[in-house]
Amino acid sequence: MGYRVMEAIRNYVQHRGLPIHAISHKTSKTVDDRIKHLIVPTLRLKDIENDSKFKKKVLEELKLAGDTVDIRLYIRQYIQSFYKFQKFIRDILIEDVVTADEVFNKYYTLYEQSYGKTTSLAVSRLHLDKFHIEPVQFLSDVIKRRRGISWKPIQQTTLRG
């Protein structure tokens, strides 16, 4: 439900304004003497129920929570849905990425053995008349950075309130 609620809110913000009608802010000290900030954004449903463009099904579900709705849970669910989607895409692409890495390493090594170190290689598609088009540059430091960052396992973190 978090994704649907936040998409309805995003659409509302994009076309009509901010539907967050109250934000409370509290601070307290934690056990290890740090300062904890707690921000609670809430929707006042009576202010959006007359909006014909706000998704009625989402509004009806929100009404089950009362006249005002703390949207932190929906924000958490929304963010976690992006984690899940990113993991889904990574799982689909992993074999292609590994194959592409192997191809890059092979040709980078061949180039390095013949001409020395370089920071990038370019690949071009050739037509039969030998006129090249669509050159694509491969930067080794970008590829190294991607290897170090983007394919680490995604940690499904618990977002706390």
Per-residue burial over 29-65, b = 16 or more CB atoms within 10 Å of its CB, e = otherwise: eeeeeeeeeeeebbbebeebeeeeebbeebbeebeee
Whether the pLDDT of residue 5 is over 90: the answer is yes
The structure's pTM equals 0.66
Whether the pLDDT of residue 90 is over 60: the answer is yes
Each residue of 51-61: pLDDT tens digit? 889 999 999 99
Each residue of 32-52: pLDDT tens digit? 999 999 999 999 898 888 888
Q: How many degrees, rounded to 5, is the angle at CA 76 between CA 6 and CA 157? A: 145
In angstroms, rounded to a whole number, what is the distance separating the alpha carbons of residues 65 and 1? 13
- CA–CA distance from 16 to each of 11, 44, 48, 145 (Å)? 8, 15, 10, 40
Whether the pLDDT of residue 139 is over 90: the answer is no
Contact 16, 51 (CB under 8 A): yes
Pick the closest to residue 73 from 22, 12, 2 (CA basis).
2
Domain boundaries, the chain: 2-70, 92-149
Output the pLDDT for position 157.
55
